[in-house]
Structure 1
């Protein structure tokens, strides 16, 4: 069970709350997307510099082409990142950057005369980036932009298609074929792990009470329904407890809501150290708690609550040391007379009200 009041003070939970609840969540998601593409672009274009340069050396092109090649391989990745960071919609800007990647890749394919080996490497890189970023909806336009750009560039350049690369071309291009797919797979794996962790945290947030970290009422009732079905099918034994803090309103009125929150957290911790790790503690809101104790009889549950009563007698709140906490407890053990889990819950509720009406600070068992 979640065990302390610092549950939502943990750094990872704070970051997840900020990301989930912030009005800028789409912007942050776009920045994360651009960051993933940036790493692939920086490494991929730097690696492609060498095979493209190796081809251009044999074509005796003007110096402007070399400046363009250096800018594409080593400056464009960082410029694209800055454009995405400063854009109002980083995701849309990064999609535009990817299309620019496709157009520029086609330009170099045309300039090289569709030289087979580096052309294949560029098409592979563009295709992987497009498919990984937007699926077929981005892949097909991206590849079309690449080949259209290549055809438009090939016509004025007038180079001849080279099918048989020489050993130098193989040596410069093979590292791209080997390393880039590994880089892309690693980035995809890292993204999948992050998404799985994000999903896990969101699921935890949807089932936990924000203050105490125990289950919220909706999820606790789902667990109760499952426990009821298990007992009904297998004639098992289980006991539920409904717990209410006595005179909680007086605590809030006398000491303030901060002390009231301390009282709720203190009760939660006492319950957590008293019941078993497999028992489900839930907070119903306000000052009411509930516990499902599987494979437990009413006598065992009463014994556990007796220990909680004893500990509370010795417990003092830091901001209200003279205030002694007391709880009233209603206990109901599963029986075949219950046709629905809500009837079981109602029996515990009746026992709780009996405890409150007969003096409080006590445990009562459903008849």
Structure 2
């Protein structure tokens, strides 16, 4: 018997999910990462064009700096996006783009003067992008790159480090300082919503059967263990059912696997229509199902299965109108004689084979 603490260890489940991620998933997540950075970069650099242009106009810098400014503000965001999209590893390419942003930020900081308001706004903007994209490590690396780039630019241009901002710089830069953090917060909010939805889908995939939508075996057994513990603590009633589609292999061999899938979905649908919303349905794989009926006696469970048997008698399959579905059911009410939830499960399984050996299409109760 397997060790439950190992089997249901959350870390192991996470590792299995991570192992299932394909190279396509990694590439897709890198593209999404680059797309988020593209929006922040495109809007932010376009907005910074005007404060930096104000400094260039005020201090009469040459035309080469204007060409750099136009290319950086309006061409570089699109070029960075294309470089990331065409890269085999988009995430790594986008990290490199962010470091290039830090280099250019250092150049403008050195050219405008370290204490100017546009330089401060630019450092804040790129710093937010670095922190939001790569955390503290990328932020520190980016700051170091900015510092080296700034010192190199100061050395080459001889720009004054201390320079007081004028009215033009205030007027052009304050809107950026006010609006860009709001844009960054909005992008972060959208990212958080996507991550929450992605997490919800992963959780759904890890607990549900892909064909029927009911619980898969692993998660269903977790719920069974919880129900067993609840019954043992409170001595309340509980009934376990194991259900098997009769002659399922014959259906597959005669009508094809598509009709076999129809049969599985049809049985699931009938169980959902007949049982209560609180009853826990699971698929064990293949043609076998299991149900946990909490606080329910064996008699009530048998009555519910009788209704399912009656429904199936008059329910044709769309792909095989002549085929009638039948199920065999094993029922095991909880009792103190079960020292482990797997013993309870075994009792229902024995009752199922008793139903099969008695002619199928019936419900049997564990002795």
What is the TM-score normalised by the length of structure 1? 0.92
What is the TM-score normalised by the length of structure 2? 0.92
Q: Deviations over 1:274-306 (max 9, x none)?
A: 111121111111111100011111111111111
Residue in structure 2 matched with residue 182 of structure 1 by the alignment: 182
Alignment of 1:150-189 (within 5 A): 150-189=150-189
Q: Deviations over 1:321-366 (max 9, x none)?
A: 1111111111111111211111111111111111111121111112
The answer to whether residue 270 in structure 2 is matched with residue 270 in structure 1 is yes
Residue in structure 1 matched with residue 13 of structure 2 by the alignment: none
Q: Deviations over 1:229-264 (max 9, x none)?
A: 011111111111111111112111211221111111
Number of residue pairs matched by the alignment: 349
Over aligned residues, Cα RMSD in angstroms?
1.5
Partners of 1:41 and 1:317 lie apart in 2 by 56
Q: What is the DSSP-based 3-state SS (H/G/I as helix, E as strand, rest coil) of the residue aligned with 1:135?
A: helix
Residue in structure 2 matched with residue 224 of structure 1 by the alignment: 224
Structure 2: which 5+ residue stretches go unaligned?
Answer: 1-16
The answer to whether residue 247 in structure 2 is matched with residue 247 in structure 1 is yes
Structure 1: which 5+ residue stretches go unaligned?
Answer: 1-16
Alignment of 1:127-138 (within 5 A): 127-138=127-138
- 1 or 2 for the larger relative contact order (CA 8 Å, sep ≥6)? 1
Partners of 1:27 and 1:177 lie apart in 2 by 34
Q: What is the DSSP-based 3-state SS (H/G/I as helix, E as strand, rest coil) of the residue aligned with 1:322?
A: strand
The answer to whether residue 128 in structure 2 is matched with residue 144 in structure 1 is no
Residue in structure 2 matched with residue 48 of structure 1 by the alignment: 48
Residue in structure 1 matched with residue 10 of structure 2 by the alignment: none
Q: Deviations over 1:74-124 (max 9, x none)?
A: 111011111111112211111111111001111111111224311111111
Alignment of 1:185-196 (within 5 A): 185-196=185-196
Alignment of 1:107-118 (within 5 A): 107-118=107-118
Contact 2:110 2:161 (8 Å CA) reproduced: no
Partners of 1:250 and 1:28 lie apart in 2 by 42
Deviation of the 1:21 alpha carbon = 5.4
Contact 2:113 2:163 (8 Å CA) reproduced: no
The answer to whether residue 97 in structure 2 is matched with residue 97 in structure 1 is yes
Partners of 2:284 and 2:92 lie apart in 1 by 43
Q: What is the DSSP-based 3-state SS (H/G/I as helix, E as strand, rest coil) of the residue aligned with 2:321?
A: coil
